[in-house]
Amino acid sequence: MGMTMTQKILAAHAGLNSVKPGQLIKAKLDMVLGNDITSPVAIKEFDKVGLDKVFDINKIAIVPDHFTPNKDIKSAEQVKICREFSKKMGIVNFFEVGQMGVEHALLPEKGLVVPGDVVIGADSHTCTYGALGAFSTGIGSTDMAAGMATGEAWFKVPEAIKFKLKGKPRKWVGGKDVILHIIGMIGVDGALYKSMEFTGEGCRELSMDDRFTIANMAIEAGAKNGIFEVDEKTEEYVKEHSVRAYTAYKADEDAEYCSAYEIDLDTIKPTVAFPHLPENARTIDNVGDIKIHQVVIGSCTNGRIEDMRIAAEVLKGRKVHGDVRCIIIPATQKIWKQAMNEGLFDIFIDSGAAVSTPTCGPCLGGHMGILAKGERAVSTTNRNFVGRMGHPESEVYLASPAIAAASAILGKIAGPEELD
């Protein structure tokens, strides 16, 4: 029996010729990731065992990004734990304010993940790196501690769902619309503990930033991971950002999938996920008249340079509605500087938007844009659960940067076409 991309990567890292769904394996790790919320818990467990060194100082990354720049005393203490541990252990990849970014945008940018890697991270959106043809998945802080100590982790080999993409997205349709369409189709548990494997000619029509967005939200369908076939665009990205050797894995012709879907990118419309689940997807022509109070453009889902450019294209020469707070957060220092140098900040600020230093901030209701009771936000983030960005009686609508920017201008949920 053939293997899928994910199964091949796991087999290689477990030192096995083959694996099959449901099999328990122990695999070697290429990267262990934590942030300012999850790392202190892992560090506590690590210290509790009495360990005095990590398995590899180059294969651990600790990125304070959720509550940084520190929003209060508690968050400052959390980061202090991360900082002191990283220094004590000699961890190379510790990135703080001034160097940091939102973790899942930062690691690919730094070249720390390449095709064929196995990556675990104490954050559910670690599945982002599947865009590079890596197996990456979120784990708990205890597993992070064990991974830092041993460089290994236990996995149950997942079944796979095949998504064959064809066609080309129309104007204003990007990775966010594609993944919201898919989650709306299969549901938030439609890929529960399964690998979402993306293939087909349509993948070539998606930029790397689109693919990062899609892989990032695989967890919102309940998936263990999302992964794209490595192609020319992947290889170009990797060569630009990393000097590491890598292995590109392709699924066997006779690989088994528990289900398969064919997605025609030509037919996907700009899409919005209504409260309070990412599966509540509606196309922009079916959203109705919904007034909003805040727009957030950023996060590990849509804070990359293409997202900034799209937002700027919509906002250029226009003004943010007087009733709307528009907050734009480039995901890393590099993206921040690039956006500034391209003149995007002039467009944002002239429109009446605010530009923030990199942070997860409002995505998880941390800081930099908390919602009050009764307020509605259009956000390019990945979750819209009850109270996700603030008050339990606030509402979050997930959308692309194009929709978010247009909504900021009109004061209601809208697509760019409505500005003409």
The answer to the question of whether 82 is labelled as a binding residue is no
- Other CB atoms within a 10 A radius of the CB of residue 336 amount to 22
CA-based torsion, 200, 128, 381, 273: positive or negative: positive
- At 368 the three-state DSSP class reads coil
Angle between helices 39-48 and 141-150 (to 10 degrees): 60
Assess contact for 64 and 96: CB atoms under 8 A.
yes
Assess contact for 179 and 79: CB atoms under 8 A.
no
- At 118 the three-state DSSP class reads strand
Query: What stretch of H or E contains 160?
Result: strand 159-166
Residue 99 CA to residue 272 CA, distance in Å, equals: 33
Contacts for 221 with CB less than 8 Å, ≥ 6 apart: 182, 183, 186, 187, 188, 189, 190, 191, 196, 278
Assess contact for 275 and 395: CB atoms under 8 A.
yes
Closest CA to 126 of 208, 35, 23, 12: 35
The answer to the question of whether 203 is labelled as a binding residue is no
Residue 205 CA to residue 221 CA, distance in Å, equals: 23
Q: Which residues are annotated as a binding site?
A: 300, 360, 363
Binding residues for [4Fe-4S] cluster, by number, are 300, 360, 363
